[in-house]
Structure 1
């Protein structure tokens, strides 16, 4: 249900219904008066839901209500207090500080001494800093208050682990088309039919983007306009604005969408990739941030399967910086579609991790002496560069020498896949490995033959002496 049913100003009451003025905002007049009237959160408020079970038992646990704006967090908190006969006190982290918290806790202590338990509702609880969040702990632990925090941000990142360990996290869902339709039907039962065609009514619901508070605000605007005839979808779009998408560049929405874009690209779905790219750019994301992620993707998930992907992404960056918005955004779209439709390989990414791990573990091993430069006489004397084979002079331009430290056997970090250009790379590596094996065998045979010849000569010489 709509979250606007409470003011952001700190409030205190019993949690029971109060008279609502006839001239109050529509959302206030439609405020649910029982948990059963809350729309769209039946998975929590129903008999089998976490909240439904708590109410049935008559005992509430502290909880964090996490969900998008306009889904009913404040309404649920107020109704919970009324359901179990608790005193309801509300503060907003936007407008409150340490002094307000101390006052709230002192009042809760006083009421507890009189036998009245307090439900403390903290709106936008993620806006309190870590030290302020820690201030709740002793009062929650000894039962001075039952804390209900509301947040639109992921509690895993926004709230202290200590506070999370003392509260259940309950997730409120974005209101779907059916829930928003039911909410609008309640408004029409109270105010009469909206001046909209059926198609326009559906468009109005879609424009709310899951926010019940926004939907009721739009409906109230339509009622107050006293329109002479119903609006069609085109007329509605001219008369009202769509809800701006929820998107904080440094918060959950930002990371959710870039994750969705990256995984859609990895899954070779150009349509979904373009959708999430559009979601980000139309919500105001910095285009260069998106380009940085595409450049990273080109190396991490495409690599040598299509080396041109990295070139495409860097070219898109140059094009965007040259053209700016909106013209340059087409280059970003082109790079996105190229990456989505390119063959995929994370072989370079896996090779980087494996090689870096080996480098950390093996420390300061010296390369073999034959591949070390010897610019001084001393270095030549101690064997630097001795026996180095110049590959361009070798058969097939390949010497097959060993380039690994004497203490470290050859390792395999990079294993190309059978896709795209990397198939050719794999063929080359397999060919070189074959030559290396053949030449290693030839060298062993030559060494064995030399040793055998030397032994025979020594035996012959000894026999001659005898």
Structure 2
């Protein structure tokens, strides 16, 4: 991309906005760079490519109702608009935060009138998980008779937040957070649109991408701030952090750009720094963050980064969460702060997390391999004749409660997923693992299940 900007100035003000009367006043950069074609959408090829779900639907002319599930700033609204263009449907957008029953009734009546006139409607519902069960049920008849094609957007897990009846009539598509390369492409598009380079040195450009943390809209808002600067000398990462930290506080209160702060909080806990963890925790609360979101993320830290090195950590986080629910703000936030300090000073292990991911990969790669016959139940005579359960050793009958039998599919080399660290409680788990490994090796060598 460097050649593309050889002729662009590196300083001065960005290109002027259109004159009044030439199409409106100032338009935010994120709006000016909104893709005009589905092919221009960045970072979502897994759903938009020729062989991907939406690509196949559009090619076959059979677009169905959709639920777009993904984090903020990844293109949910843009994709919905472009789908309407691609299918010649009238686009209507509402937000579940600001719309009530009366608003829905008006939208539905207008869609029925369009249908009678031969025009279909693509109804885009932002934050659809905010609608209650009755409101969600209201979409069903119009989806079934073709009055509307519903495209809902949500940042929450649809399995938990949306009715089963609604989910059964729509396909859920997961949108990814934007990768670094995607954000860099977006930043380059912004520079072309502004007809100038960002006044940042290379390290500061990298820092800006980090601050966006996968959110394209957040990146463009930050880029627009940077383009307003008239520095002749490129801004350094340190100067960038100072400037954007001051500006980001108000921006964060909109609820669209918290990922950089939660990342700092999580990494401070992982890095065993309770003071830094408390600082980022306070920054998020001062920015208007929902404490329940923080309670959930703190509990996740216990599971992901502490694990079995301190089994008490997860329970303590859940207790702190419950305390917050009982006390509310601001008193309940102290319980969350106490949990945070405990996690920061607890022994750390992600051994279970790593083992879980490795086991999931092995499960995908190994296909439908059957369990070994000796651990299959045999409730019928036919199954017994087939050898189900034959040769099974009941572990409680072994003197030390351990038979050492194989529980993986026949022919599969025994994998070692769980590798506990030599810290905290996992030090004891490691000893037990090594003890059973030696017993297993001895039992399999001798074919015995007793301890002699």
Answer whether TM exceeds 0.5 for this pair. yes
Q: How does 1:35-434 map to 2 (within 5 A)?
A: 35-191=38-194, 192-241=196-245, 281=281, 301=308, 331-333=341-343, 335-337=345-347, 420=428
User: Following TM superposition, by how much is the alpha carbon of 1:330 offset from its aligned partner in structure 2, in angstroms?
Assistant: 8.2
**Do the aligned residues in 1 keep the contact of 2:273 with 2:345 (CA within 8 Å)?**
no
Ranges of 4+ aligned residues in structure 1 off by more than 6 Å: 242-247, 272-275, 286-297, 324-330, 338-342, 414-419, 421-424
Mapped partners of 1:240, 1:186: distance in 2: 21
C-alpha spacing 1:341/1:144, structure 2 compared with 1 (3 Å):
closer
- Paired with 2:148 and 2:114, the residues of 1 have a C-alpha distance of 10
Matched, 1:25 2:36: no
Could you tell me how far apart the structure 1 residues matched to 2:52 and 2:216 are? 21
| Secondary structure at 1:70 match in 2 | coil
Q: TM-score, normalised by structure 1?
A: 0.55
- The structure-2 alpha-carbon separation of the partners of 1:421 and 1:68, relative to structure 1 and needing over 3 Å to count, comes to closer
Tell me which residue corresponds to 1:435.
none
8 Å Cα contact 1:274-1:333 kept in structure 2:
no
Cα shift at 1:229: 2.5
Q: What is the TM-score with the length of structure 2 in the denominator?
A: 0.57
In structure 2, relative to structure 1, the CA distance for the partners of 1:233 and 1:138 (3 Å cut) is same
Q: Distance in 2 between matches of 1:23 and 1:293?
A: 42
Gaps (5+ residues) in structure 2? Answer: 1-21, 254-258, 286-290, 321-330, 353-395, 403-424, 436-452
* Cα distance in 1 for residues equivalent to 2:181 and 2:303: 40
Distance 1:325 1:95, change over 3 A: closer
1:273/1:23 CA distance change after superposition, 3 Å: same
1:396 aligns with none
Displacement after TM superposition at 1:225 (Å)? 2.8
Contact 1:294 1:336 in 2 (8 A): no
Map Cα deviations across residues 167-191 of structure 1 (whole Å, 9 max, x no partner): 0000000011100100110010111
Deviation at 1:55, TM superposition (A): 1.5
Q: Which has the higher contact order (CA 8 A, sep 6+)?
A: 2
Contact 2:186 2:216 in 1 (8 A): yes
Inter-partner Cα distance in structure 2 for 1:79 and 1:96: 23
SS across alignment from 2:235: coil
Quote the residue 1:267 is aligned against: none
Quote the offset at 1:213 in angstroms: 0.7
- CA deviation vs aligned residue, 1:270-320 (integer Å, no higher than 9, x gap): 959999x959957556899899899999xx9579xx9xx78x979xx9xxx
Unaligned runs of 5+ in 1: 1-18, 248-252, 262-269, 343-409, 428-466
> How many Å apart are 1:23 and its aligned residue?
2.9
| 1:343-363 per-position Cα deviation (integer Å, ceiling 9, x unaligned) | xxxxxxxxxxxxxxxxxxxxx
2:91 is paired with a residue of what secondary structure?
A: strand
Which of these two proteins has the greater Rg computed from alpha carbons? 1
Q: Distance in 2 between matches of 1:72 and 1:296?
A: 31
Greater Cα shift, 120-129 or 22-31: 22-31
What number of residue pairs does the alignment pair up? 309
Maintained 8 Å contact 2:120/2:148: yes
